Structure formats: structure tokens, C-alpha cells
Structure 1
Amino acid sequence: IGLFHPFIENPGVRMFGAEAGGKGIQTGEHSASVVAGEEGVLHGARTLVLQDGDGQISGTHSIAAGLDYSAVGPEHAYLARSSRAEYRAVTDSEALAAFHLLSELEGIIPALESAHAVACAVKLGGEMPTDSAMIVNLSGRGDKDVAQVAELEAPR
């Protein structure tokens, strides 16, 4: 549950999670199990799962390997269902733009997983009052993703 843990009991803190929206929720090529999943069981845990009408696990897509999964931990499913946290889908292209933004403005190369959080924060920044404070959790290192980003953005 990571950075959410110290804030769960503080109703004055709004919590947001970013999910891999892949090529867009409407395409079906994503990994946004909170935004688009249904209650199901995966690996023995009842949670939100991307699945078909028969309960078979659906294929997923994300440029971030760590987000390319068809379910979310039950704690996040609970936080979403109880409205304690809000989850937003971030597309591959939005994550790539955030990867470049943080790299260029701050000299921090985010992992592609964290680039989803940065993209979500950029969107939220436009919605929040100007006197608000925001914390964005970055994990991993983006230097491992530089070659993948170059390949994804190479002219075809």
C-alpha cells in the first residue's frame, strides 16, 4: 500500500493512484483493473480483476512492465470501493510525456511505472486549488527504461 499507509486515517488528505491506461480504456488494451475491472479472484485474492464474462483473466497492456498485470492488490480495491482513494488511468502516451517532462525539468529520469504517477499529478495539478500541496511517490530508476523509450518513440 506504500505511501498511502500514513494517510489512510487522515480524511483531510486526498489520495490518488495511477493505473496503466495503455492505449486507452476504450481499446481494451490496458491494465487498469480499478478503473475498468470487476470483482473477481486471482491468485486466491478477491479483488478487482480484468476478466471476461466467464471469469477468465483478460490480456493486459502497458509500456511499464511493473504495471502490466490484470489485477490490483485487495487493499487498493478496498480503498477504491470505499471511496477513500481515487484511481485514474494514464495512457502510454501520457506516461511517456511525463517521463520527458520530469527528465527535462528536474533532471530526474523516472521509471515508466512512476511516470504514470507523474502524469496523473500533472493532470490533478490543474484541478486542485493553487494553495494545495501534493506528494508524488517515485520508485525505481528510469535509466533502465531509456532504451525502451527510445525504441517506442523511434520513427517507423
Structure 2
Amino acid sequence: MPKPRINPVQGDITEQDVDAVVNAANSSLLGGGGVDGAIHRRGGPDILAECRKLRAERFPDGLPAGQAAATTAGRLPARWVIHTVGPVWSRQEDRSGLLASCHRESLRVARELGARTVAFPAISTGVYRWPLKDAARIAVSTLQEEGEGFAELRLVLFGKEAYEAFCAAVL
């Protein structure tokens, strides 16, 4: 089986012209800081409206960590936003399975939508404090294992340090 094309790029995930962008959301699905806030701000009110509908109909207690759900992308160049909630990093508990699940479940949802190109942020590496090199290793290995059939899986990294960590993991 050929490995999927995984491309790390340094940039802004809200500017990516892909079928779907993955949002490192919080469980409320109602917007927040970091990637989540940027996607909601740039994408506009249609994303929030669909997130509220998801909360009312499917996730009344919030989207669980490791799961994924899709909405419109509103005013983003993408067609869809796939929301996933990453785990908070912990020294005391290995939560790497949950971080891998964020990527796996996002790919599952992307397949259901018919997406061929998907952009991922560095899930859990911001306020959830996941170490960059470890997050990159988990993300890249999961995308390599689960990404068959996609034309491109793009890793969109905001800063130089994140970009370098994910580039190293792709090699």
C-alpha cells in the first residue's frame, strides 16, 4: 500500500484551500482560542450555528476527546470543518491513544464526506501542552497508517518550531 502524501507547511489553517480543515476544538464546540477561535472568526456564524445544532442533537454533553464531527466551513476556502477535541497532555497518564484517535476519527469523517484533501493543525500542542515532537510523531504515524486514499494530508503549522518538529517526523 502506498503511503499517503503528507505535507507539512508553515502557515494559517484558515487560509488553506482544501476539502476539509480539522479544528482543534474544545468540547463545547462553541469556539475558543487558538486554532478554534481563528476558524470560528474567519469562517463566520454558519460554523457556530451548525456546532450548536451538533450540541443539541448529538453531543449534549460536548464532543468527547478523540472524537470528530463535521460542519460547514462557512467563509473559509475549505468546504468542511472537522472538529476534534484533543486530550490535555499529562505526565501521569498516557493519553497518546486519544491523540491518535483525533487524527483517525477526523480521517473517518473526511472519508464519509468524500474529502480528498485535509488540513490538520498541531492538535493538543497549544494550551493543552502536548510536547511538539511527541505530538508530531503521533500525528504523522497515525496519518501514515490511516490515510490511504487521500490525495493530500496537509499539516499546517503556525510557528517555526512546530513546522520543524512535524517536518522531522515526516522524514
Q: TM-score, normalised by structure 1?
A: 0.28
Does 1 or 2 have the higher relative contact order (CA < 8 Å, sep 6+)?
2
Q: TM-score, normalised by structure 2?
A: 0.27
Find the structure with the greater CA-based Rg: 1
